[in-house]
Structure 1
Amino acid sequence: MKWGKIVALLLVTIIVIVGAVLAVNPLKESINLGLDLKGGVQVRLQAQGEVTDLEISQVIAIMRNRVDKLGVTEPIIQQEGTDRILIELPGVKDPETAINMIGKTAQLEFVTAEGMTVLTGKDVKDAQEGKDAQTGEVFIGLSLNDEGTKKFADITTQLVSQYPEVNNQRDERRIIAIVLDEDVLTAPYVMEPITTGEGARITGFVDLKEAHNTAVLLRSGALPVPVEIIEKRTLGPTLGADSIVKSTKAGLWGIVIIMIF
């Protein structure tokens, strides 16, 4: 076989291999792009009051958990100084939702009509959004841990016993409000004692997306200290991803040419 045919065959083989790699793993998806290349959200948080390094570390861990559930790849979450945290989310698709979730303390409380807090987010084991098949109502179903199950069983049993219905008339003192960051999400009426740790629902959501985002906050846990957003920016890419892809392809072809000659 002539040398020219060998070179041509080698070139065709290399082109096929490169094409197959690009088809299976497109460059635009495999290259990790930061804010400059992909755009996204940059937020600075400041913890309120006196805080310790441990509390800041806990805030960072919870924030990372929240961000992971947003599906953001390679976020930057780091401490600045003694009481500030920098968060960068490259390529986030819904900046408003991301900023909203970052800024919430996510302090969950179950409060009786008389103002007594009987459960908090620490008593919740899991929170999952769902949609009632019959009514179409969107909700979050809560599962309580062992301690929460016992406390909820005790309070619901007490309310049903202490405030019986007379002539089928509901007694509003059997209501338990579910409060998130001082906002009442829902205020269900206790029909009967709840002893299994299951069955508690949060309703009043506009759609499944809102319920999902709230469930993410509940699963991630409440921040140990309140935080305030002191700076937020939505950034557009300053260098297009297409340019990076073209440059990378040019580099690959350069390697091919060097290999041939």
Structure 2
Amino acid sequence: MKKKKSTILFLTSVLVIGILAFTGFKGITIGDYRFKPFTETINKGLDLQGGISVLEEVQGKVDAKTLDRAIELISMRVNKMGISETLVAKEGNNRIRIEIPGVFDSKQILDTVAKSGELKFVGPDKVTILTGKDIKDATTGFGEGNKPVINLELNEAGKQKFAQATQKFLKQKITILMDNEVLTDPTVESVITDGKAQISGSKDLAGASRKAQIIKSGALPVTLKAVSVKTVGATLGTNALELSMKAGAVGILCIFLFMLLYYRAPGIIASISLMLYVVLVLGVFSAINATLTLSGIAGFLLTIGMAVDANVLIFERTREELKTGKSIKSSVNAGFHRALPSILDSNITTIIAGVVLYMMGTGSVKGFALTLVIGVTISIFTALTCTEFLLKLAVEMGLISKTSHFGVKRG
């Protein structure tokens, strides 16, 4: 009964992994719902599908908070154009890197990024009540029910305008627009005569802080100058992706062959576990809406090698136990136990290095680091769960019953 149960569990596990792999790489349609393959759900970076890379330099000296507000406004503008997966990030102390995949009109991008911008408070009658010039300060805090709010403070000119508007539009909405994009549209709950108001409706403190920064700046708070504008051709990106995929497929196939030839039966288990690893990593990329770049692919391929390394450590420890005369079952258990410290030590140090790279790096370095951390974390999981589970089932069902199945010959 135990052998039969192990056989059923083993075959079911392999079938599930096979279905997941097929769905991930080919896609599948069930009724009216279609599970898209990874090629459609994982976003491609600038270097894979082409686009524009712009480096803007801030003119004059600005503090870190002002630069952060400028980055927030620029991000809002380029995304408003219907562009997804843009990168707007600080580079150095006074530069802003903007990368936009799939767009090739550099003049439109430069005009959009560099314009001053316009903040407006508009009433239900579509008449402008306040502009950015009327705002003295905007901060975040917590209001009733401990919910995040924006604390708005107006100057003298704005105070009078807002008092008249809140009286006129009591129990109606006043819309706050940035570049004609709706930022928020709170309802006037009372007449405000002191120029201090609370704006509720934000889902979290981070969202309230983002809106407060935009309201406080009123317009782009810095003057920018484009110091670099690069256009990446789509043909280059397509070729790079195709060649990377081929390289990845060849690399994975070579790893499978090595594991099968050197470790024999356990090599089959390692290959199945590695297939699950690939599916899980790509699934995580898709779930977190990650953008895959060439450096990200390099990090992914590197983690495949590290995932195999964990299996190699386990199998080598198991072979050492077999050579001492222990049974296969005892050797497998001892092999996992003895390999665990080495696996954790090597992978945790790699994760630490990846986190440091992600925190201190920019652009493609971040992509490489993120891919590395995700891949190594999942490789630990698959090695210590999937490989162990399947290998022990294979021993229980008799698929692995001789020391020669591990490539070990006893005298």
TM-score computed with the length of structure 1 as normaliser = 0.48
The structure that is helix-richer by fraction is 2
**CA radius of gyration, larger in:** 2
The structure that is strand-richer by fraction is 1
TM-score computed with the length of structure 2 as normaliser = 0.34
**Larger relative contact order, structure 1 or 2 (CA cutoff 8 Å, min sep 6):** 1
